[in-house]
């Protein structure tokens, strides 16, 4: 992969997630996980029954049918997230498109390019680090410690609502909180953040 996994995940969370339904994003992540993350190629040949087996188990997949998975795959293709190729005995070939190469994401990235590079605290690695240090490597939403591996920066005012890449608008954030907060204002995200934090606390005392 030419880009770091972190960059890809950030672009996914910041730009693609708001465009997908929860099912579509889980399915995209499932294909991504089994192609690029597993062997570095963005192609995966897989049968729909295998997808149903692997991805739809557990509470979220309850009632997921072959028709539903087909519909989600078609929708992902329509949104430019995957290209569907031929089908043979081993399954159908899917090409997983990286977030930055998905047209609706590329458009957003281009329109959010900061005017002045020195004010861009989001893409500049040294400046990102400066912000993590400022926030003492603590997620500003749930208070959990983050590390170089899982620290992200959240746009306090989302980019879709005019927030920029200045240090004032960026907060250190864990992956989970970032995926919840993404695209939402703090007020909109608060109930979901609280719920997630409570669930995590409940799990950790068990
Ligand atoms: Zn957090």
Q: Encode the chain (206 residues) as per-residue pLDDT tens digits.
A: 467 888 888 899 989 998 998 889 989 999 999 998 888 889 999 998 888 887 766 555 455 688 888 999 999 999 999 999 999 999 999 999 999 999 989 988 888 765 554 578 998 889 999 999 999 999 999 999 999 989 999 999 998 888 888 999 999 999 999 999 999 999 999 999 999 999 998 888 76
CATH 1.10.30 domain position(s) in the chain: 115-205
pTM exceeding the 0.75 threshold for the entire prediction: no
Rounded to the nearest angstrom, the distance between the alpha carbon of 42 and the centre of ligand 1 is 30
Among 3.40.225.10, 1.10.10.10, 2.40.10.220, 3.20.20.10, what is the CATH number of 5-100?
Answer: 1.10.10.10
Backbone angles phi, psi at 171, to 5 degrees: -125, 140
Rounded to the nearest angstrom, the distance between the alpha carbon of 143 and the centre of ligand 1 is 6
Cβ atoms of 103 and 110 closer than 8 Å: no
Rounded to the nearest angstrom, the distance between the alpha carbon of 2 and the centre of ligand 1 is 28
Rounded to the nearest angstrom, the distance between the alpha carbon of 140 and the centre of ligand 1 is 7
Cβ atoms of 121 and 128 closer than 8 Å: yes
Cβ atoms of 171 and 135 closer than 8 Å: yes
Rounded to the nearest angstrom, the distance between the alpha carbon of 51 and the centre of ligand 1 is 30
Q: What is the largest CA-CA distance in the chain?
A: 54
């Amino acid at each position: 992969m030419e880009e770091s996994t972190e960059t890809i995940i950030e672009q996914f969370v910041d730009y693609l997630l708001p465009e997908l339904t929860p099912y579509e994003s889980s399915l995209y992540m499932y294909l991504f996980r089994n192609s690029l993350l597993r062997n570095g190629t963005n192609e995966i040949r897989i049968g729909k029954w295998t997808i149903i087996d692997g991805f739809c188990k557990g509470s979220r997949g309850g009632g997921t049918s072959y028709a539903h998975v087909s519909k989600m795959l078609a929708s992902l293709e329509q949104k430019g997230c995957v290209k569907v190729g031929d089908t043979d005995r081993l399954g159908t070939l899917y090409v997983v498109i990286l977030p930055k190469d998905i047209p609706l994401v590329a458009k957003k990235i281009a329109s959010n390019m900061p005017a002045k590079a020195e004010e861009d605290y989001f893409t500049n690695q040294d400046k990102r680090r400066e912000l993590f240090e400022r926030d003492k490597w603590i997620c500003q939403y749930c208070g959990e410690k983050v590390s170089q591996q899982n620290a992200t920066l959240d746009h306090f005012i989302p980019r879709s609502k005019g927030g920029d890449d200045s240090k004032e608008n960026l907060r250190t954030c864990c992956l989970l909180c970032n995926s919840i907060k993404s695209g939402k204002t703090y007020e909109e995200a608060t109930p979901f953040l609280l719920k997630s934090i409570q669930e995590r606390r409940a799990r950790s005392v068990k």
